[in-house]
């Protein structure tokens, strides 16, 4: 089965600081998705990456997929309290594209 490992598991940063969350796959990724979840609430789609070397940005969040398509990073610039939550990476299964896997998530707290 597809395995997605996220690091760090949790992160506390001072407001205004930059941070990076990583997602590593045991297998080559076809599509890698980033979601954000506010504690106890639903998931909000952030970005999807498909091509090796691809990079996408939305406001202060940038996501990258490495050339080998096995690792993705999510970078937040000048963090704000509104960035707090759980960040999850997700991916389609290579063997069965109707199955979907998530990493265990990274809990982010931003101190004002």
Partner 1 sequence: EAQVTQNPRYLITVTGKKLTVTCSQNMNHEYMSWYRQDPGLGLRQIYYSMNVEVTDKGDVPEGYKVSRKEKRNFPLILESPSPNQTSLYFCASSFKTGRTDTQYFGPGTRLTVL
Which residues make up the interface to partner 1 (CB under 8 A)?
A: 1, 30-31, 33, 35, 40-45, 48, 50, 88, 90, 92, 97-105
Nearer to partner 1, 14 or 98 (CB): 98
- The least CB distance from residue 42 to partner 1, in Å, is 4
- Residue 111 CA to residue 90 CA, distance in Å, equals 27
- Residue 16 CA to residue 37 CA, distance in Å, equals 21
- The least CB distance from residue 14 to partner 1, in Å, is 26
Nearer to partner 1, 19 or 33 (CB): 33
Quickly list DSSP for 12-79.
EEETT--EEEEEEESS--S-EEEEEE-TTS-EEEEEEE-STT-EEEETTEEEEE-TTSSEEEEEESS-
- The least CB distance from residue 81 to partner 1, in Å, is 22
Nearer to partner 1, 18 or 96 (CB): 96
């Amino acid at each position: 089965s597809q395995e997605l490992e996220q690091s760090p598991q949790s992160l506390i940063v001072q407001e205004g600081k930059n941070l990076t969350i990583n997602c590593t796959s045991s297998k080559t990724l076809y599509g890698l998705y980033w979601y954000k979840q506010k504690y106890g609430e639903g998931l909000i789609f952030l970005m999807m990456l498909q091509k090796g070397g691809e990079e996408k940005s939305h406001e202060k969040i940038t996501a990258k997929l490495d050339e080998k398509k096995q690792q993705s990073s999510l970078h937040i610039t000048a963090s704000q309290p509104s960035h707090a939550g759980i960040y999850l990476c997700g991916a389609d299964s290579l063997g069965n594209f109707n199955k979907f896997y998530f990493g265990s998530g990274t809990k982010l707290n931003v101190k004002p």
